[in-house]
Amino acid sequence: MEQVAIKPALKTSAAPDADGSGLRGLSYVGLAFRFASRELRGGLSGFYIFLACIALGVAAIGGVGSASKALTGGLEEQGREILGGDISLSVTQTRISDEERRFLSQFGTISEIATLRAMARTQDSAEQALVEIKAVDGAYPMIGSLDTKAGGKLSDGVVIADPLLLDRLELNVGDPLVVGVKTFTIGDVIANEPDALATGMALGPRLLMMQSDLQQTDLLQPGSIVRWINRIAMAGDPDLASVGAVVEQIKQAYPDNGWRIRSRAEAARGLARNIERFAAFLVLVGLASLITGGVGIANAVQAFIASRQTTIASYKCMGAPSWLIVGIYLAQIIFIALIGIAIGLFFASLVPFVLESVIPETMPLASALFHPWELGKAALFGLLAALLFSIRPLLRARSIPATALFRDQVAPIHYHASKMDWLITLGLALMLVGLVLATASVFMVAASFLAGMVVVFVLLRLIAYAIMKGAAKMPRLKRVVPRLAIANLHRPGALTPSVALSLGLGLSLLVTLVLIDLNLQQQLTGSLQEKAPNFFFINIQNNEVDSFEARLDALAPGSERDRVAMLRGRIVSLKGIPASEYKAPEGAGWVLRGDRGLTYSDVLPENSTLAKGEWWPKDYTGKPLVSFDAESAEELGLDIGDVIAVNVLGRTIEAEIHNLRQVEWQSLAINFVMVFSPNTFAGAPHAHLATLSLKPQQGATADTTRQQESAVMKAIVKDFPAVTSVRVGEALDQVNDLVRQLAWGMRAASSLAIIASILVLAGALAAGQRERIYDAVILKTLGASRAQVLAAYSLEYGLLGLITAIFALFIGHVGAYLVLTEVMTMPFTWQPVASALAVLLAMVLTIFLGLVGTWSSLNRKPAQILRNG
């Protein structure tokens, strides 16, 4: 027998070598691997759940990380083409001066484009659509190529359009298209727009034209919302350090111009940031799946150690020290974990290649689709999780005497962990926590996630304890089936702790994600649609205001409308600190990025309430004052009396914060972060922004509302061609489509969690199968029918699933409520149908898996089981 060789091997290991040092440690390691390899010859039976849990978690974490790096890496590699140059300078409403252009031209070739939203219509004005105009000069594109379907080129009077525009207006190449007051010819459709990603989210299809034609549309009026973008293409292919040095020179030469300056390293900064955030969220969900699977790992290792108790006892009786025992089985656990990790890494490494075949051609991928760091991080997560959840059963076997191990098969004893055991477990836990926090893109989100997982673990443990205590204290029932079911909930070796943890973790995460998804959908398709106005009208000129409002009154009598002055500006400093150097938290950074809509008013705007301070009096003529959004001010560390500087129309204006106000953003009414006192912009050219909420008609349907909206839009576009009409319903539909795409990612992530939960649940039930078979045979021997046994087990599993699901629903609702109200600042609504389906799913799943494991026991012969028992 192999055990006989232990004594001589140990004696040899104790002998000193030539220099007097012992080889005990090295010999123990060698022996541990030697015995571990021999035991593994029996195969991996009992470890399939272990392997699946590890592989699933590693594949999720590694796959999401690799996909994120492939996408963001592609944005970085092709940043020059995406940006259209090495450096981009953008500003709203004002063009750069000749002096500024001369200064910028010393760094390379300059190209200028103008972007704005406008209305395009057919020649008879029967159809119209919102378009995103890009007016370019002769140097466009400096980097990359503008490809068209039939090879058409831009020229005077000729536009190139997104194919979607032609579909919406039912036009073809060669047909006339009216924009503003000018009629164009559609020359071709866009096949590839090299800098499409740099322009951000579009509400309408792209329309390309020459800048000389833009001047003839009458869209460029004083105060019109036009973004002028100047790109610099430096000579050759300069490195990022050289580009960064030029950016610093420009900032030092013109510190207060209000330019938004980007280098090619930040070509699609917003998109890259959103990819990283969403990927970070999915990585945390994958980690949650891995931790959920940790319960299955612990169950598998515990069952494995239980099956080896006789062998372990033999090792100890023959003189094997405790740490050799741990080494033998730890080596096996690590080996099996590495197999699971390898399986997970294989599937994770395929994700970027699959992504390459499904994403749009406009989204670039990194040239290297294999990302060792992301895969290595996932592997380390998997290994630490395997060790953390395996170490307690392993240390239990080390700590129990050999004689107790033999008795433990019939009279289990309670395991009292030593201080060293607790230190080892705590050390592994801290390593896993440290890895999560060190690799997290948003520290607070990761920390909150870990805290939430700890709370959920503790709560589910308490729930399992409460179920067992409650079942034990229930009065003895007369009917056999319910009495057996309730007794099984609290008897020694009950499945209650394992099922409560595995089902509770997976279901809690699933409910949280589903409720977030449903609430987002409800906000976009329900309450937001109901609260939002039907139209936003942009670029209404001062000389058109009266006639425009009169036309709206005639088209939609009795409807609600609102109008405010509209400017665009960029915050350049706060409390004397440049905006680029101001340390803003992640949630409020958007206020400082790019330019913001600005307005002025002598009264408190609707949909706002004063949170602090007072409104300025009418006809105020003092120093410039500003009212700031209270939530944004708190996040930015601003208060009444602080001074901010805003660049508007190329002029920097300093204003003191006079009051803070709460803004109801969810209404989608006219709201601004900053509202200034009227004297701030006295004499400044500006346009107006208006909203229209159509009066609900009795018996109106969605179709009649769309018809009414179409009639209003057609009339406004015809009579006021320079005014941009945004139909809010269409804009929300686009946002809703984007949310639906993100929701698929959330659903995929939640499916991983529920799959891990099912695996763990199946493993927990399988681990107790031997005891269930024995119980079933005893019951049948005592006269119980097959129907009674099935009914007892079904009731047990159903009660366990129902109670756990109710508590998991509570945890999931709390999690969804906190995410929606605290992180997304959105209202939370209960979803009873989703809750009922989750409870039903949990009960059916628990009963099904439980009975699958029990069914075979009903066909076993009692004599065989009793003889071997």
Which of 257-266, 596-605, 801-810 has maximum average pLDDT? Answer: 596-605
CA-wise closest residue to 790 among 782, 798, 802: 798
Torsion 65-66-69-71 (CA) sign: negative
The whole-number pLDDT of residue 230 equals 93
Which of 37-41, 568-572, 788-792 has maximum average pLDDT? Answer: 568-572
Average pLDDT over residues 467-475: 86
Predicted confidence band at 23 (pLDDT cuts at 50, 70, 90)? very low
Instruction: Report the distance separating Cα 846 and Cα 619, nearest Å.
Output: 71
The burial of 581, by beta-carbon neighbours within 10 Å (0-12 exposed, 13-18 middle, 19 or more buried), is given as exposed
Predicted confidence band at 325 (pLDDT cuts at 50, 70, 90)? confident
Predicted confidence band at 95 (pLDDT cuts at 50, 70, 90)? confident
CA 670 to chain centre: 28
CA-wise closest residue to 632 among 587, 671, 580: 587
The whole-number pLDDT of residue 16 equals 42
Is the pLDDT score of 253 beyond 80?
yes
Q: What is the pLDDT of residues 504-558, one digit of tens each?
A: 877 787 788 778 777 776 766 555 556 678 888 888 888 888 899 899 888 888 8
Instruction: Report the distance separating Cα 385 and Cα 618, nearest Å.
Output: 65
Is the pLDDT score of 866 beyond 60?
no
Which of 248-252, 297-301, 587-591 has maximum average pLDDT? Answer: 248-252
**What H or E segment, with its residue span, contains residue 864?**
helix 862-868
Cis check for the bond before 141: say yes or no (omega within 30 of 0): yes
Predicted confidence band at 19 (pLDDT cuts at 50, 70, 90)? very low
The whole-number pLDDT of residue 186 equals 94
Enter the tokens of residue 132. 């995103």
Predicted confidence band at 737 (pLDDT cuts at 50, 70, 90)? low
Whole-angstrom distance between the N-terminal and C-terminal Cα of the chain? 26
Average pLDDT over residues 340-350: 92
Q: What is the pLDDT of residues 360-419, one digit of tens each?
A: 776 777 777 788 888 998 999 889 988 988 888 888 777 666 665 555 555 555 556 678
Q: What whole-number percentage of the chain has pLDDT above 90?
A: 16
Of residues 494 and 753, more confidence is placed in 494
The whole-number pLDDT of residue 659 equals 93
The answer to whether the beta carbons of residues 178 and 149 sit under 8 Å apart is no
Predicted confidence band at 5 (pLDDT cuts at 50, 70, 90)? very low
Is the pLDDT score of 103 beyond 80?
yes
Instruction: Report how many helices (DSSP H) and strands (DSSP E) the chain contains, helices first.
Output: 26, 21
Predicted confidence band at 338 (pLDDT cuts at 50, 70, 90)? very high
Is the pLDDT score of 579 beyond 80?
yes
pTM: 0.72
DSSP class per residue in 627-686: EEEHHHHHHHT--TT-EEEEEETTEEEEEEEEEEEEE-GGG-SS--SEEE-GGGGTT---
Instruction: Report the distance separating Cα 285 and Cα 299, nearest Å.
Output: 22
Instruction: Kindly give, in sequence order, each residue whose CB lies less than 8 Å from that of residue 551, ignoring residues fewer than 6 positions away.
Output: 715, 716, 719, 720
In this structure, which amino acid lies at residue 739?
A: V
Lowest-confidence segment of 313-317, 371-375, 747-751 by average pLDDT = 747-751
Other beta carbons within 10 Å of 670: 19
Average pLDDT over residues 643-666: 87
Enter the tokens of residue 205. 């299809």
CA-wise closest residue to 183 among 123, 124, 223: 123
Q: What whole-number percentage of the chain has pLDDT above 70?
A: 82
Of residues 819 and 245, more confidence is placed in 245
Lowest-confidence segment of 132-136, 643-647, 813-817 by average pLDDT = 813-817
The answer to whether the beta carbons of residues 778 and 313 sit under 8 Å apart is no
User: How long is the chain?
Assistant: 869
Q: What is the pLDDT of residues 676-732, one digit of tens each?
A: 999 898 778 888 888 888 877 666 676 777 788 888 888 888 888 888 888 877 776
The whole-number pLDDT of residue 229 equals 92
Axis-axis angle for helices 443-473, 269-307 (nearest 10): 40
The answer to whether the beta carbons of residues 455 and 463 sit under 8 Å apart is no
- How would you classify the pairing of strands 651-663 and 147-148? unpaired
CA-wise closest residue to 120 among 132, 108, 106: 132
Instruction: Kindly give, in sequence order, each residue whose CB lies less than 8 Å from that of residue 793, ignoring residues fewer than 6 positions away.
Output: 485, 488, 772, 850, 851, 854
Is the pLDDT score of 80 beyond 70?
yes
Which of 66-70, 161-165, 649-653, 708-712 has maximum average pLDDT? Answer: 161-165
Other beta carbons within 10 Å of 501: 27
In 677-692, which positions are buried (b, 16+ CB within 10 angstroms) versus exposed (e)? bbbbbeebebbbbbbb
- How would you classify the pairing of strands 158-161 and 182-192? parallel
- How would you classify the pairing of strands 577-578 and 625-629? unpaired
The whole-number pLDDT of residue 379 equals 92
| Cα-only R_g, the chain | 34
Residue 229 dihedral angles phi and psi, to the nearest 5°: -120, 125
Residue reference for tokens 């602090």: 612
Enter the tokens of residue 410. 């019939």
Lowest-confidence segment of 155-159, 214-218, 293-297 by average pLDDT = 293-297
Instruction: Report the distance separating Cα 849 and Cα 765, nearest Å.
Output: 7
The whole-number pLDDT of residue 742 equals 64
The whole-number pLDDT of residue 120 equals 92
The whole-number pLDDT of residue 865 equals 56
Average pLDDT over residues 13-28: 46
CA-wise closest residue to 385 among 463, 319, 316, 286: 286
Question: Average model confidence (pLDDT) for the chain?
Answer: 80
